[in-house]
Structure 1
Amino acid sequence: MDRLKDKVVIVTGSTSGIGIGIAKLCAAEAAQVVITGRNVERGQKVVNEIEAAGGKAWFHAFDLTSTESMHALIADTAEKFGHIDALVNNAAGMGLKDGRVDELTLEEFNAVVTTDLGGTFNMIKEVLPYLLKNEKGGSIVNIGSMASAGGDLGTIAYACAKSGVDKLTEYVACMYGPKNIRCNCVRPGLIVTPQNEGRIPDALKTIFLSNILGTRYGAPEDIGHLCVYLVSDESDYMNGQVLTCDGGLNSHTPTVAQFRTMAGRTW
């Protein structure tokens, strides 16, 4: 359980949901994990839980909409630990209006893109100088979304922002790979967390579960395990990849669930 021993790993948005799963698994592999978020009480709770399990963690307040907050997070982490080895860009804007083209103003669309894509870009920009100082470079893991895997009926701004994260990942890998900086992206499927379970309609759960090539929804730990691998030296030859972790949801034609109901194979 020491795959990340001596590594300092920042996980943004790690006071809830997927972020907690990523942070706890990194800590379980002996990383010093920096927990971030806007809610100090929730952040300290995650730190306490990690420490109670024998791990090491430290909380730093963080706001994805504030350039100053991003700079402070990176600078303070480097000052406290002397180095930074990995950044997991998990935080995303919450509570921003999204929907169909006819429902959004350009300002509302831009607000989502600026937060979710621009924030990811700026976090990478802030951490790069510190990763470049390391003899072995470092790892950046962007958390994308299956929303960028195909079209849907709503949340167009979020989908466009996450599609941009996919491409940003590839460009960062191309630009800084020769400096031993790896940048990969994980696109989660439907991940059910204690925070969102009550807000997901049963009808939506049924649709997703009928199309998942398994018997369960995703959990934060499913994304966490993949992030641990991408942060670790085991993935030294993985760079510029966009990896979908969705139980096979996006790997088949849209008729699979219907053909199962019909006990058929094709038309």
Structure 2
Amino acid sequence: MGRLEGKVAIVTGSTSGIGIGIARLFVREGATVVVCGRRKERGEQVVAEITADGGTASYHYLDLTDLDTVKALIDDTATEYGKLDILVNNAANVGLADGSVEELTLEMWDAIFASDLRGTFYAIKCALPHMKAAGGGSIVNIGSMASCGGDLGATAYTCAKAGVDMLTSSVALQYGKDNIRCNCVRPGLIVTPQNEDIVPQMLRDIFISNIEVNRYGNPEDIGHACVYLASDEAEFVTGQVFNVDGGMNPHAPTVAQFRAAGSRTW
């Protein structure tokens, strides 16, 4: 406990799912957390739950596609608390229409990039001056295992998340000498209170047959990784992309089929 004591953190998209898990763990470790998202009522409920447990948090409206709200979030946080130490870029709109290259319109492509890459870029851009003024900081981008390869239908999403990987590297390179670190966490299948009733069993079966541990991920799994990367324990860690996916990505894609066949080799 206390690994983030005295630090001020923004966790975007923290009114549901992974974002709530990150925010709660940050507070437990001593951080003051700004909860943000489009759903004010839900955001205020999260803040009430955190403060009832003795933590310090506040809510700020954020619509990642409205860049004025992005800048207001960053600037208002730095003004209210006197600094900004940690920025977790978790927010993304997962409900946007996607498709194959032939199916995608430019409008669909642009909407996903605005949500999943442009908003992250702009939040970092707005945060950098405040982190420089504070003598440093930690930026944690939430990517996706979708950036590891092509996809049958989520073309724009995979490309946007691959962009998050490279944005992470660029920020780490350009601002490391300012004591600003930037890393990325790629979640695997994370079952949250908000999605557990809508994740199809077929999808769960596909994932569990390829995951190298005996369960699906949960928001706290991502939160623990973010706590480490945000803390001073990781002061020599920057520009890295961490897979938190139960070991799904580091093996051959045929592992589930070989297991079913009782084979251990090619």
TM-score by length of 2: 0.98
What CA distance in whole angstroms lies between the structure 2 residues aligned with 1:51 and 1:35? 12
Equivalent residue letter for 1:107: E
Post-superposition offset of 1:254: 1.2
AA of the residue aligned to 2:262: A
Counterparts of 2:39 and 2:111, CA distance in 1: 21
Mapped to 2, the partners of 1:144 and 1:95 lie a distance apart of: 16
1:76 paired with 2:87, answer no
**What is the match of residue 246 of structure 2?**
247
Hey, what does 1:205 align to over in structure 2? Answer: 204
1:7 alignment counterpart: 7
CA distance in 1, matches of 2:115, 2:163: 12
User: CA–CA distance in 2 between the matches of 1:204 and 1:240?
Assistant: 31
Q: CA deviation at 1:183?
A: 0.3
The alpha carbon displacement at 1:95 in A equals 2.8
User: Residues 1-267 of structure 1: matches in 2 within 5 Å?
Assistant: 1-135=1-135, 137-267=136-266
The DSSP-based 3-state class of the residue aligned with 1:101 is: coil
Partner SS state of residue 91, structure 1: coil
Cα shift at 1:114: 2.0
Q: Secondary structure at the match of 2:197?
A: helix
Return 100-109 or 177-186, whichever deviates more.
100-109
Q: Secondary structure at the match of 1:197?
A: coil
Shift of 1:86: 0.6
Alignment RMSD (CA, Å): 0.8
Question: For 1:199, what is the secondary structure of its paired residue?
Answer: coil
- Paired residue type of 1:100: S
Deviation, structure 1 residue 94: 3.9
Per-residue deviation, 1:112: 0.5
- What SS is found at the alignment partner of 1:3? coil
Give the 3-state SS of the residue equivalent to 2:236 in structure 1.
coil
Aligned counterparts of 1:114 and 1:67: Cα–Cα separation in 2? 10
Letter in 2 for 1:76: D
Deviation at 1:104, TM superposition (A): 1.1
d(CA) in 1 for partners of 2:263, 2:14:
44
Structure 2, unaligned runs of 5 or more:
none
Post-superposition, which runs of at least 4 consecutive aligned residues in structure 1 deviate over 2 A? none
Q: Give the whole-Å Cα distance in 2 for the aligned partners of 1:124 and 1:80.
A: 19
Question: Normalization by structure 1: what TM-score?
Answer: 0.98
Equivalents in 1 of 2:95, 2:251: separation in Å? Answer: 32
| Structure 1: gaps of 5 or more residues | none
| Secondary structure at the counterpart of residue 46 of structure 2 | helix
* Structure 1 Cα separation of the partners of residues 189 and 67 of structure 2: 30
- Structure 2: distance between partners of 1:242 and 1:95: 24
TM superposition shift of 1:162 = 0.3
State how far apart, in whole Å, the 2-side matches of 1:264 and 1:93 are.
40
Identity fraction in percent: 62
Match of 1:213, SS? Answer: coil
CA distance in 2, matches of 1:56, 1:160: 36
Q: Distance in 1 between matches of 2:22 and 2:260?
A: 36
How far, CA to CA, are the matches of 2:173 and 2:254 in structure 1?
A: 37
**What is the rounded CA distance, in whole Å, between the counterparts of 2:160 and 2:67 in structure 1?**
18
CA distance in 2, matches of 1:15, 1:211: 30
Distance of 1:27 and 1:127 partners within structure 2: 20
